[in-house]
Amino acid sequence: MATGPRYRVPFRRRKEGRTNYRARRALVLSGVPRLVVRLSLKNTLIQIIEAEAIGDKVIVSAHSHELAKSYGWLSTGGNIPAAYLTGLLCGYKALAKGVDKAFLDVGLHIPSKGTRLFAALKGFVDSGVEVPHGDEIFPDDNQLAGQQIADYAGQLSEEPEVYKQKFSVYLKKGLRPEKLPEHFSAVKAKVSSSFNQKVKEKKVEA
């Protein structure tokens, strides 16, 4: 362990591997809201955050639980399609709050092409919010829709016991994993139409 008169103890969140303060400083000084994506094996959480003197303020938040509760999502909340849909939902919420631009805050994620992080970003950008990015980082359309999951399920269908074990969550909710791309498209349409309906209602009230 380093010692001496010039040694400074790292901030707690840096020691815990939770915050890159150099990257955070640049984002805060930009004055632009941060798009923060937090991923677990089962869920996706996406927030729009502004930095204030007293601490971070969450302007908008979207969780993959909302996909199941409000839009009929039957798959898990931690896969690539769920990340995209949660990003899309968060983007629409951001637009409704007057947020039209954000910077992606990757935190301590290692940016890798085609991951859930960039699936979430793709959904957010598709809502109409501007976020600087390069299109080459996104998963392709088949991955976003879960075609790779459907193909894998098709391969396992000849092994019923393994199939049931691997996709128990899908089957319990009444979704055959081979139908995931179609289900994805239906839920995406629901999310978009719900937002468009709210926009129309606001225009009528105005």
125: in domain:
yes
Instruction: Give residue-wise pLDDT tens across range 20-49.
Output: 555 455 455 457 899 999 999 999 999 999
Q: Does residue 63 surpass a pLDDT of 60?
A: yes
Q: What is the mean pLDDT of the chain?
A: 86
Residue 186 pLDDT class (50, 70, 90 cuts): very high
What pLDDT is stored for residue 53 in this prediction?
A: 66
5: in domain:
no
134: in domain:
yes
What pLDDT is stored for residue 109 in this prediction?
A: 66
27: in domain:
yes
1: in domain:
no
162: in domain:
yes
204: in domain:
no
What pLDDT is stored for residue 145 in this prediction?
A: 98
What pLDDT is stored for residue 54 in this prediction?
A: 72
User: Count of domains in the chain?
Assistant: 1
Residue 51 pLDDT class (50, 70, 90 cuts): confident
Place of tokens 């391969």: 155
Type and span of the H or E element at 59: strand 55-63
Q: Does residue 13 surpass a pLDDT of 90?
A: no
Average pLDDT, integer, range 127-136: 94
Instruction: Give residue-wise pLDDT tens across range 70-117.
Output: 999 999 999 999 999 999 999 999 999 999 999 998 876 677 999 999
**CATH number reported for the structural domain that contains residue 102 in this entry:** 3.30.420.100
First and final C-alpha spacing in the chain:
64
Determine the Cα–Cα distance for residues 60 and 187; give it in Å rounded to an integer. 21
Determine the Cα–Cα distance for residues 40 and 77; give it in Å rounded to an integer. 9
Instruction: Give the percent of the chain with pLDDT over 70.
Output: 79
4: in domain:
no
Q: Give the domain range for residue 130.
A: 18-199
| Single-letter amino acid code for the residue at 166 | K
What pLDDT is stored for residue 56 in this prediction?
A: 80
What pLDDT is stored for residue 105 in this prediction?
A: 86
Two tokens, residue 133: 């990015």
